[in-house]
Amino acid sequence: MTIRKILIFTPILVIFFLLQSYFWVPTYEEQSRGNPERLNEYIAASIGDASILNPILSADSASSDINSKVFEGLIDRDEELRFRGRLARSWDIHEEAFFYVNEKANIPGVGKVGAKKVVELLKRAKAGDLPASDEVRASLDNIREISIIPAREFLVTRHEKKTETDQEDIEVRIRVMAPNRIKLVLSSVDQDVFQSLSSILGKDYFSSFNGGDYLHVDQELGEKKSAAYAREILPSTEHNPIVVFKLRPDVKFHDGHIFDANDVKFTFEAIMNPKNLSPRVADYEPVKEVQAVDPLTVRIVYKRLYSPALGTWSMGILPEHLLNDETLRDEANRVGKDPEKFSIRQSSFNRHPIGCGPFVFRQWKSDQYITLNGFDDYWEGLPNYKKFIYRIVPDLLTQEMEFYAGTIDSYNVQPHQVQRLKNDPGYQCFSGPSFGYTYIGYNMRREPFNDPIVRRALGMAIDVNKIIDYVLHGQGESITGPFVKVTDYYNHRIKPLPYDPQGALKLLEEAGWRRNKEGWLEKNGKRFQFTLITNSGNDLRKAILAIAQDAWRQIGIDVRTDLLEWAVFIQERVDKADFDALILGWFMGIEPDLYQIWHSSQTNPYQLNFVGFKNPQADDLIIKIRQEYDHDRQVAYCHQLHKIIAEEQPYTFLYVTKWTAILDKRIVIKETDEKGNVVYKKITPTKTGSYTFYFNKWIKLPEVPSFALDG
């Protein structure tokens, strides 16, 4: 960038600072000559600081960046987006399915029979003695074992209120006389197994089973509550998918402690412990039990069908020995806190994390930098970089200048720079479609954002194409819903909101808003006034802030704006849902599971549905998507959910960008071939949407290698 170009776009005082920085900082070559160790350290830059270095608690990108290097999950996805083992070397997925014997049901051609006759009938069908369609035959062939769980009696205790106005709970004792139950062990998960068995046992065999006949309650609960207890305690059918992970031996945490199955079990329990307020609860709520079978075997049983199950175990695993109840109690006493209220969220571990990932935490100086060192005992081998430094540089222009000076090693190119920098012979350039999107979110708990007509009108007043053309310089596309646009889960039939300020005004009039003498919109004597916020240090969001404010003011809405430092923005405003409207973005995964962001149960503080979206139809579809193993049906549910969210407009969906980044051409992949020879290769993006997939193999060379000179 020339000085002339900087002067055109930047205030004089900022120029003075940047020029000082530019000429004071040693160049890349000077650093390399004066300090050879600079070749062994990678320096990244972020606009915002991390907030909490604990994978079960963090919800911001800066924390996630560090956590991904300090901690390791059981699995992740390879360069082709297939699951691969990390702390787990292998896994098996199968299912145990159960149903209660319905002795009152008439089985076609057989009549009313008990458990033994049901098992005999199913075994005959499995052996091919009964006619069956191809679909039913496939389900029968998938059954490995059929057995009987004998009838049993047990007691269940619940606490209820007699009436809605009662303050105290009463204890409800439920005596359960459970009938015989059939257990099926399936080679793979089969969501249609009971539908298939209905063709043998009768179409009403499962639906006509009444668990309430086997419950005896010592309180009068009413028909509705009694039926709910019957469904909970004695469900007619039950799917229990099971994942068994075989773990790698001799994997070490950074303190030398050996990782084992108890750490996996502990991590799950820590997520589910309500004291810890983990935003990951929704991902693991479907888990019934995590069993440490032996030090290197984990058996995870699910309560019900849950298609995203495997992918959730990419979560970084915590060290049980450093965060168990006894350790936390000692820490609480040491710092003078109440041990009963002290949780992992309050632990000093979150600023001094210990995992078993490729890098060891060394230092965190708030709002300045975080440093990590390569882990000598990392199970996959020591990373080529000895040190990773994560610098907090809130201003993107400063980041750019520091990249040119060589004091940071990569730079996420801004849209207006793409054409110029992608052809620069000094750098290697990477780009690809983003898996995320940018949006304006409305706090639906507050008026007038609780009205979908108002939210739609606000979206229609904003010219999204103007943002794409002038803010993104064409490096983006409009988006209408919450799924990754390059997947088939995205509903391309949904059209973007039209840019129509006059149409927006008509909708607002329909909602009761009228212009006063000053030109502002009013309703019941109250002006339409609110504050739109976003984080500082992001020029794109800052530009959107100005465009949205201007667009809304033109139709008579009094909009204030505020830029907040990242930690304050997330921790004080987003996490606590203390905002009117905000500009933010989501980076989405491959799986179409939107439970955490869109389900109505996820609207509490520190949860991710911070706009407060609640829709029963959407909730139902979100659950169906989670439980659906058939891809085509899952896609159909996603399209329906997309349509509902687009109609409700809890967000004004703005755009999905193309990501672009540049590195110095000296940075390459370093490997060793079968003969022990060092081999250098070009860095290339993978289907994961990232060019950093092989980061642990990156290294910086003193000179540009010959293969990189060609482009």
Supply the pLDDT for residue 642: 98
Residues 534-591 pLDDT 10s: 999 888 999 999 999 999 999 999 999 999 998 899 999 999 999 999 999 998 878 8
Q: pTM, whole model, 2 decimals? A: 0.75
* pLDDT band per the 50, 70, 90 thresholds, residue 708: low
Q: Which residues contact 128 (CB under 8 A, 6 or more apart)?
A: none
Interval 453-473 mean pLDDT = 94
Q: Is the pLDDT of residue 521 over 80?
A: yes
Q: Is the pLDDT of residue 168 over 80?
A: no
Cβ 492 vs Cβ 664: under 8 Å: no
Q: Is the pLDDT of residue 19 over 70?
A: no
State how beta strands 359-365 and 369-374 pair: antiparallel
Burial 300-329 (b: 16+ CB within 10 A, else e): bbbeebbbbbbbbbbbbbbbbbbbbeebbe
Q: Of 486 and 516, which is predicted with more confidence?
A: 516
Determine, yes or no, domain membership for 460.
yes
Supply the pLDDT for residue 17: 41
Supply the pLDDT for residue 121: 95
Supply the pLDDT for residue 151: 96
* pLDDT band per the 50, 70, 90 thresholds, residue 164: low
Could you give the C-alpha distances from 302 to 97, 294, 671, in angstroms and in order? 11, 19, 40
Q: Is the pLDDT of residue 459 over 50?
A: yes
The DSSP annotation for 566-577 comes to: HHHIIIIIITTT
Supply the pLDDT for residue 529: 96
Interval 193-206 mean pLDDT = 95
Q: Is the pLDDT of residue 16 over 70?
A: no
CA distance 398 to 401: 5
Supply the pLDDT for residue 257: 98
β-partners of residue 95 are 186, 241
* pLDDT band per the 50, 70, 90 thresholds, residue 307: confident
Between CA 410 and CA 416, with CA 415 as vertex, the angle to 5 degrees is 110
Interval 349-354 mean pLDDT = 98
Q: Is the pLDDT of residue 64 over 50?
A: yes
Indicate the residue among 215, 241, 267 that finishes a domain: 241
Supply the pLDDT for residue 23: 39
Q: Is the pLDDT of residue 68 over 80?
A: yes
- The total of other beta-carbon atoms located within 10 Å of residue 117's CB is 15
Supply the pLDDT for residue 162: 61
Domain region containing 196: 93-241
Cβ 307 vs Cβ 628: under 8 Å: yes
Supply the pLDDT for residue 504: 96
Give how many domains the chain has, as a whole number.
Answer: 2
Residues 311-349 pLDDT 10s: 999 999 999 999 999 999 999 999 999 999 999 999 999
> Quick check: helix, strand or coil at residue 668?
strand
Interval 80-97 mean pLDDT = 93
Q: Is the pLDDT of residue 7 over 70?
A: no
CA distance 555 to 560: 14
Strands (E), 369-408: 369-374, 387-392
Supply the pLDDT for residue 421: 74
Cβ 2 vs Cβ 401: under 8 Å: no
* pLDDT band per the 50, 70, 90 thresholds, residue 690: confident
Determine, yes or no, domain membership for 380.
no
Supply the pLDDT for residue 581: 97
Supply the pLDDT for residue 21: 41
Could you give the C-alpha distances from 512 to 312, 407, 462, 523, in angstroms and in order? 46, 56, 21, 6
Determine, yes or no, domain membership for 373.
no
Q: Of 25 and 168, which is predicted with more confidence?
A: 168
Report the percentage of the chain scoring pLDDT > 70.
Answer: 92
Indicate the residue among 621, 639, 659 that finishes a domain: 659
CATH number of domain containing 597: 3.10.105.10
User: Of the candidates 533, 510, 531, 509, which has an alpha carbon nearest to the alpha carbon of residue 521?
Assistant: 509
CA distance 323 to 344: 7
Determine, yes or no, domain membership for 710.
no
Tell me what the pLDDT averaged over the chain comes to: 89
Supply the pLDDT for residue 429: 83
Residues 584-630 pLDDT 10s: 999 887 889 999 999 999 999 989 999 999 999 999 999 999 888 78
Q: Of 109 and 499, which is predicted with more confidence?
A: 499
Determine, yes or no, domain membership for 636.
yes
Query: What are the tokens at 175?
Result: 């005596």
- Omega before residue 394 within 30° of 0, cis: no
Indicate the residue among 639, 659, 679 that finishes a domain: 659
Supply the pLDDT for residue 12: 39
| DSSP 8-state assignment for residue 380 | T
Determine, yes or no, domain membership for 488.
yes
Cβ 667 vs Cβ 698: under 8 Å: yes
Of 6-10, 13-17, 45-49, minimum mean pLDDT range: 6-10
Interval 403-414 mean pLDDT = 86
User: Of the candidates 331, 368, 283, which has an alpha carbon nearest to the alpha carbon of residue 567?
Assistant: 368
CA distance 429 to 344: 41
Interval 20-39 mean pLDDT = 54
Cβ 53 vs Cβ 70: under 8 Å: yes
Determine, yes or no, domain membership for 7.
no
Determine, yes or no, domain membership for 292.
no
Q: Is the pLDDT of residue 6 over 50?
A: no
Query: What are the tokens at 396?
Result: 């993107």
CA distance 656 to 438: 6
Interval 100-112 mean pLDDT = 92
Cβ 330 vs Cβ 352: under 8 Å: no
Residues 209-257 pLDDT 10s: 999 999 988 777 677 778 888 889 999 999 999 999 999 999 999 999 9
The dihedral built from the CA positions of residue 619, 622, 627 and 630, taken in this order, carries a sign that is: positive
CA distance 399 to 531: 29
Supply the pLDDT for residue 221: 67
Of 27-41, 332-346, 463-477, 595-609, minimum mean pLDDT range: 27-41
